[in-house]
């Protein structure tokens, strides 16, 4: 045990080393030593001093410094790297001295001029993950400086850190974006009067990088850098120039290319991805790890600042690139509007992506198919299961004027995107159905033409006083109308309510397709079930109040995963099933089942990184079972970005917000979930989460109302009984509270508050946790 006499304190720790130092020394020892001295004397020490840091060690090619402020440490690292990049511009590539840097904050042991501690080791591990010229920071650092600069931090997950026995969230710092967001110029903090004026201009541009660049560096740092530079020089840049590129800029593993037109950018991207499948174009050694590109293309405003393209639209492209599959291309809606009239085969909607740290509104995105299989630690299998197919036809505009045609088109586009983002339907692109809205063809003929089972069609009728939007869902095989709805709004309200209108329509279409498919499945022999059939059978059982039915769902999910290992939907639902199993205290090995749930959710995300259910389940597991609320919220936010109409994602987000005490928002999110799925087969769970949010916000009457409704729908759900017991106890309705406590003990005779508080008690906020346990105890539940 360390003596209390040893002084400790909290500090921000910055580690750095020189990339390829041994190579530089071997090539020119005297020149490298001289360059390193200049780096120490003119770069490292002056900038650290200016940011009130203390240099602890300058040993050869590595350096260590501490700061009392996390913000100062990050500012310092950004300034050092940007200054170093400036100075390297006049140095031949093979002689450039580039730094890797890592920053962490934690407790250090102070021994005179020296410092020790595990948190220094973490900073060293972060530094080893950084790219040449880059900075990696821990989640603790990002939490303190990232809220106002979210776009400047790229989440790298929780990689294994050598000799570190706990999981550390790691972020890559986007240096120019951080500097721009923080009001700095490149290389130093500039007073307002010295900041250069910038001019924004429209451009069509692309960003491309290599998948797994950072992972390849530790294997062969020098070889990986050389290989990437060779690929850029021999393939990426020449192809770009062939397609009229105005500007090509290499920054680490990113290439920025500006084109004359958006169509030029798309053609370049397609040719580059096609070339990446030809080994002779990208390597002369077939034993080396294959290269896979991902590309984002966008049209927007860019700012030329010190020859570095900047601005919100560049940041949007960087975010879009994160949604590209290996070998794939993501296009913004702005690109499609620019190339209107040109057909892109197999274009798939990714949805409306939200980057709220950049823009208040969503960005429409589409993906061109990947030329390569998904790359991960092991190559993920492709899903082969056919999904129910649907086409959404243009609305017929009725009335004296067609002035609202643009509104009809916007609503249909939003419906198509929202249905596609659910990941359980094959949705035909809107462009394929253009011209069929006014057609006199019957639904059977339209279904055959488009190759779909379901057709959604409707009308928009305009009058002086109202706009009426009507839509119906049809089975193209039978001509039967499965569902219909109509919405009337005032003309001046339509744009404010458009999102609500789309939500209501999507909430009607998706469950009715699922219901018809389930009816069809019941006619089939079990040996003929597909993976999708098995998944739907499981979903019909998973929310059952009967334990036997719930347990039977596992068998269907297991069979679905066996039938199609690449189908993410059953894997995500299997994770959800495991989560419910542990939460209900039906698990015989809760720790093992909780880990299995997390593994399944992670596997589903690997199979489909936009799967909203998998992202939401992973986030909920992290907060509910592992009490890692911050990580949980990150994944829940990703789920909502991926599919803004996923009611369960909104619901699980509400639960975590209740746990951390953001109660008003928790109630809002739960109410929004209920609007998205008012007739959900698991309605009891919606009502239970609403009861939880209202209990947390101390609206105990509302908590009782929602809990009683949930209990009427599912009398055996134990979380509902606990919330109802606590809410009644808080209202001093002790007879009723003791009655519900008795119901809970009848279902779970081994329940005790001490074990509950140690394992499944979900609240992080101490005040809510304390009163929750007290209210349950006052109702007579055993300690």
216 shares a domain with 160:
no
CA distances (Å), origin 760, targets 366, 544, 694: 41, 22, 19
CA distance readout (Å), 196 to 81, 199, 354, 659: 20, 10, 31, 46
Q: Are strands 135-138 and 170-173 parallel, antiparallel or unpaired?
A: antiparallel
Please write the tens of the pLDDT for every residue from 574-616: 999 999 999 888 999 988 999 999 999 988 888 877 788 889 9
Question: 210 and 180: one domain?
Answer: no
Task: Report the DSSP beta bridge partners of residue 171.
Answer: 137, 155
19, 222 Cβ separation under 8 angstroms: no
State how beta strands 8-18 and 99-111 pair: antiparallel
One domain for residues 348 and 405: no
Q: Is residue 580 part of a domain?
A: no
pTM more than 0.75: no
DSSP string, 346-406: T-EEEEEE--TTT-SS-EEEEEEPPSSPPPSSSPPPPP-PPPPEEEEPPPEEESS--TTHH
Looking at per-residue pLDDT, the higher value among 149 and 529 belongs to 529
- Domain end call among 156, 177, 192: 192
| Domain end call among 475, 503, 521 | 521
H-helix or E-strand spanning residue 473: strand 467-475
For residue 507, the model assigns a pLDDT of 78
- Predicted pLDDT of residue 578: 94
pLDDT digits (tens, 9 = 90+) for 340-390: 556 566 677 777 777 766 665 677 888 886 543 332 223 334 444 567 878
31 with 148, same domain: the answer is yes
Cβ atoms of residues 179 and 185 within 8 Å: yes
Q: How confident is the model at residue 461 (pLDDT cuts 50, 70, 90)?
A: confident
Check which CATH number belongs to the domain holding 504 and give it.
Answer: 3.40.50.10070
- Of the candidate ranges 59-68, 135-144, 643-652, 729-738, the one whose mean pLDDT is the lowest: 59-68
Q: Is 175 contained in some domain?
A: yes
Based on the fold, state whether residues 211 and 356 are members of the same structural domain.
Answer: yes
The larger pLDDT score, comparing residue 314 to residue 670, is at 670
Mean pLDDT of 700-715: 94
Q: Domain residues for 63?
A: 8-192
Residues 140 and 16 in one domain: yes
Where residue 322 falls among pLDDT bands split at 50, 70, 90?
Answer: confident
On whether residue 576 sits in a domain, the answer given is no
> Considering the chain, what percentage of its residues have pLDDT values greater than 90?
22
Arithmetic mean of pLDDT, 406-410: 69
Residue 558 in any domain: the answer is: no
Assess if residue 70 is contained within a domain.
yes
The CATH code of the domain that includes 663 is 1.25.40.10
Residues facing residue 193 across a β-bridge: none
Q: Is 243 exposed, middle or buried (0-12, 13-18, 19+ CB in 10 A)?
A: buried
Residues 466 and 354 in one domain: no
Domain-located, residue 734: yes
What confidence tier does 733 reach under pLDDT thresholds 50, 70, 90?
Answer: very high
Note whether residue 556 is domain-resident: no
Q: Name the domain count of the chain.
A: 4
CATH of the domain at 174: 3.30.70.1230
> Is 166's pLDDT higher than 50?
yes
pLDDT at 156 over 50: yes
pLDDT (tens digit per residue) in 225-267: 777 788 888 888 888 888 888 778 876 567 889 988 888 898 8
Q: Which of 430-434, 534-538, 690-694 has the highest mean pLDDT?
A: 690-694
- Residues 690 and 746 placed together within one structural domain of the fold: yes
Q: Is the same domain home to 204 and 218?
A: yes
**Better pLDDT: 371 or 461:** 461
Say if residue 252 is in the same domain as residue 359: yes
Q: What is the mean pLDDT of residues 174-179?
A: 76
Q: Does the pLDDT at position 408 exceed 50?
A: yes
> Residue 515 above 60 pLDDT?
yes
- Which positions ≥6 away from 585 have C-beta within 8 Å? 718, 748, 751, 760
Looking at the structure, do residues 655 and 761 belong to the same domain, yes or no? yes
**Residue 560 counted as domain residue:** no
Q: What is the pLDDT of residue 526?
A: 73
Confidence of residue 684 (pLDDT cuts 50, 70, 90): very high
Q: Work out the mean pLDDT of the chain and round it to a whole number.
A: 79
Query: Do 259 and 349 fall within a single domain?
Result: yes
């Amino acid at each position: 045990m360390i003596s209390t006499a040893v002084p400790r304190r909290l500090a921000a720790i910055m580690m750095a080393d020189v990339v390829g130092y041994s190579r530089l020394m071997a090539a020119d020892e005297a020149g490298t030593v001289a360059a390193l001295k200049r780096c120490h004397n003119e770069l490292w020490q002056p900038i650290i001093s200016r940011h009130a840091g203390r240099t602890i060690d300058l040993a050869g090619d590595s350096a260590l410094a501490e700061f009392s402020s996390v913000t100062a440490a990050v500012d310092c690292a950004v300034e050092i790297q940007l200054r170093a990049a400036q100075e390297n511009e006049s140095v031949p590539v093979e002689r450039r001295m580039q730094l890797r840097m890592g920053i962490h904050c934690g407790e250090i042991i102070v021994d005179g001029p020296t410092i020790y501690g595990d948190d220094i080791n973490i900073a060293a591990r972060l530094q080893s993950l950084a790219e040449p010229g880059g900075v990696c920071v821990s989640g603790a650092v990002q939490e303190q400086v990232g809220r106002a600069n979210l776009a400047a931090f790229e989440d790298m997950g929780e990689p294994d850190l050598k000799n570190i026995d706990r999981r550390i969230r790691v972020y890559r710092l986007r240096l120019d974006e951080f500097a721009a967001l923080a009001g700095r110029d490149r290389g130093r903090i500039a007073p307002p009067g010295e900041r250069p004026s910038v001019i924004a201009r429209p451009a069509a541009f692309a960003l491309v990088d290599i998948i797994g660049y950072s992972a390849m560096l530790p294997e062969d740092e020098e070889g990986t850098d050389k290989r990437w530079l060779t690929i850029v020089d021999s393939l990426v840049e020449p192809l770009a120039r062939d397609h009229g590129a105005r500007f090509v800029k290499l920054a680490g593993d990113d290439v920025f290319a500006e084109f004359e037109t958006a169509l030029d950018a798309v053609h370049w991207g397609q040719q580059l991805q096609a070339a990446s499948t030809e080994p002779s174009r990208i390597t002369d050694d077939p034993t080396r790890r294959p290269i896979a590109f991902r590309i984002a293309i966008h049209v927007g405003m860019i700012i030329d600042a010190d020859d570095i393209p900047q601005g919100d639209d560049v940041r949007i492209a960087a975010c879009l690139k994160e949604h590209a599959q290996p070998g794939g291309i993501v296009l913004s809606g702005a690109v499609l509007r620019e190339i209107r009239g040109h057909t892109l085969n197999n274009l798939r909607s990714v949805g409306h992506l939200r980057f709220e740290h950049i823009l208040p509104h969503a960005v429409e995105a589409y993906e061109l198919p990947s030329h390569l299989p998904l790359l991960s630690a092991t190559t993920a299998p492709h899903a082969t299961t056919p999904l129910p197919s649907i086409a959404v036809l243009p609305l017929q505009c009725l009335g004296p004027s067609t002035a609202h045609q643009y509104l009809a088109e916007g609503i249909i586009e939003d419906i198509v995107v929202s249905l596609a983002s659910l990941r359980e339907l094959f949705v035909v692109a809107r462009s394929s159905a253009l011209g069929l809205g006014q057609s006199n063809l019957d639904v059977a003929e339209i279904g055959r033409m488009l190759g779909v089972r379901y057709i959604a069609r409707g009308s928009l009728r305009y009058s002086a006083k109202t706009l009426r939007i009507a839509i119906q869902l049809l089975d193209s095989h039978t001509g039967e109308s499965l569902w219909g709805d109509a919405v009337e709004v005032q003309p001046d309200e339509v744009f404010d309510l458009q999102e609500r209108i789309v939500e209501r329509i999507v909430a009607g279409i998706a469950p009715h397709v699922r219901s018809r498919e389930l009816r069809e499945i019941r006619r089939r022999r079990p040996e003929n079930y597909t993976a999708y059939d098995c998944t739907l059978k499981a979903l019909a059982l998973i929310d059952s109040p009967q334990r036997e039915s719930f347990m039977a769902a596992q068998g269907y999910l297991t069979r679905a995963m066996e039938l199609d290992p690449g189908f993410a939907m059953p894997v995500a639902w299997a994770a959800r099933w495991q989560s419910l199993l542990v939460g209900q205290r039906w698990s015989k090995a809760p720790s093992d089942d909780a880990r299995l749930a997390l593994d399944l959710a992670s596997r589903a995300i690997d199979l489909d990184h936009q799967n909203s259910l998998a992202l939401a389940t992973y986030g909920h597991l992290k907060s509910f079972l592992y009490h890692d609320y911050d990580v949980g919220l990150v994944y829940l936010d990703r789920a909502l970005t991926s599919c803004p109409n996923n009611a369960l994602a909104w619901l699980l987000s509400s639960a975590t917000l209740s746990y951390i005490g953001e109660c008003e928002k928790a109630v809002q999110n739960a109410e929004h979930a209920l609007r998205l799925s008012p007739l959900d087969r698991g309605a009891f769970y919606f009502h239970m989460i609403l009861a939880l949010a209202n209990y947390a916000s101390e609206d105990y009457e509302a908590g009782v109302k929602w809990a009683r409704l949930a209990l009427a729908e599912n009398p055996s759900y134990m979380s509902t009984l606990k919330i109802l017991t606590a809410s009644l106890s808080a209202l001093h309705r002790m007879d009723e509270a003791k009655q519900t406590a008795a119901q809970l003990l009848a279902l779970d005779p081994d329940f005790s508050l001490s074990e509950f508080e140690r394992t499944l008690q979900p609240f992080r906020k101490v005040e809510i946790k304390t009163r929750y346990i007290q209210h349950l105890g006052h109702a007579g539940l055993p300690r």
